Amino acid sequence: MKTRSPRFSAALLLSVFLLTGCGTGPDSSLLSPESAAERSTTSASSAQDKTDTPADTTADTTAQDTTALPDTASAADTTEPGTAGSTAPGTAATRITQGTRATRTSAAAGTSAAGSTEKPTETEASVTSSSAVTEAEPELPTGNLRDTVAAMTVEQKCAQMILCTCSDQGTAMAAVKAGVGGLCLFAKPFSGKTKQQVRDMNAAFQQNAKLPLLISVDEEGGTVNRVSLNPNLRAVPFWGPKALFAEGGWDLVTSDTKEKAELLLDLGVNVNLAPVCDVPLDASNYIYNRCFSLNADETAEYIRVVVSEMRADGLGSTLKHFPGYGGSVDTHKNMGYDDRDYSAFTDGDFKPFRAGIRAGADAVMVSHNIVSCMDSDYPASLSAAVHEILRDDLGFKGVVISDDLGMDAIKQFSGGKNPAVAAVLAGNDLICYSDYQSSIAAIVQAVNAGTIEESRIDESVLRILQWKRRLGLL
């Protein structure tokens, strides 16, 4: 077992919870410093229709100024080809061309190239400002992003740290007008729409945003898709990684990644909460159908190929689910526990994450599993020790995103109370959660009370803005 002394220890987190009336121990409420009445009101008003299972939302880290590894990988002869739960779309050639556009439309011009300084193209329709605005909106950054952060109010900065999960268009627009940093859209907002309708929807989100948005989806392929489930957007859903490689090797994996990036960017989506870095222990594990291989080295090569292509295409990438899912149960339904030795991670699970970081991954999403060799008291998403390993041992300098805090594992752990403050204290930059209203209020109150230092908020917001600039949004 690895012994660590993280900046925010479990003891410190627990003391924060006690001071804010949270009870004791892992089954306590992890309350943010808001009143019980406020929590009850906001949770009732923000309940989501969770029809998208798994609602696995993650995406974090600022861009890495690293060079992709040489494109000389040996073939990963995986022994688990499978079909990844998706309907066969026909020949490899058909799959490569379906849904691909030779050039992106103006609706996605702002995200078509990494490092672009163009803002996302807005539709010609004028946008009516909300009469509820009570403070000046932040100006779009044109120079030093640190100056931009310094000029923002605490409320604006805390709102930028929310990646709001949305099952419907109305909720998404309300979150946008509240100043959130990004959206994680499930399948319903895309369902039944034409490509132009989706472009218009995302353009409207951007027009109403105080700062340009990260608009993300879980388009992993196989069992987890949001966009390509709609036949108006792609003739067939994207395949999962095992099926792709079995059909066409690295060439098909690469062309599929490129097609996916072109489609998402054309629709106004600038971040894919993918690829999946997890290495399951065997084919019976929950995460198996979403993964590339049971072999960590093969998975690492898959991650390198996919992240390198996504970065070349200008689509934001997210490695998930750190520190590695292994054989844990589905945390959408229950808390997962991982009692493996630390060496199992250094010799296996960390390899795909290291490969993705070297290839320039923008973000890393942290899981809700309790990994005893790192922190036996808290889920990884709420553990400072786990985040310290990601930052210090793996050297990740980009945006760290929590997995969806609305999942049942966290609800059970927190007693149903808002865990946003604990997530910030642990080290997350983006808080993936539907309850944006009470989360923003709780984080602001924690800053004002001195529970969270404002400099800690500034660090996260700077990483988020740097990511947006690299994607051409600022």
Instruction: Rounding to the nearest 10 degrees, give the CA dihedral for residues 103, 106, 108, 109.
Output: 80
* 8 Å CB contact between 427 and 400: yes
Q: Which DSSP category does 139 fall into?
A: P
Would you call 332 a catalytic residue per the annotation? yes
d(Cα 133, Cα 156) in Å, to the nearest integer?
12
* 8 Å CB contact between 182 and 47: no
Phi, psi of 215 (to 5 degrees): -110, 115
Helix locations, 209-341, DSSP H: 241-267, 296-313
* 8 Å CB contact between 399 and 428: no
Residue 147 C-beta-side C-alpha neighbours within 13 Å: 6
**Annotated catalytic residue, options 321, 332, 368, 387:** 332
d(Cα 71, Cα 251) in Å, to the nearest integer?
12
Question: Residue 127 carries which side chain, given as an amino acid letter?
Answer: V
**Annotated catalytic residue, options 218, 362, 403, 435:** 403
Would you call 368 a catalytic residue per the annotation? no
d(Cα 8, Cα 49) in Å, to the nearest integer?
34
70 preceded by cis ω (within 30°)? no
Catalytic positions: 332, 403
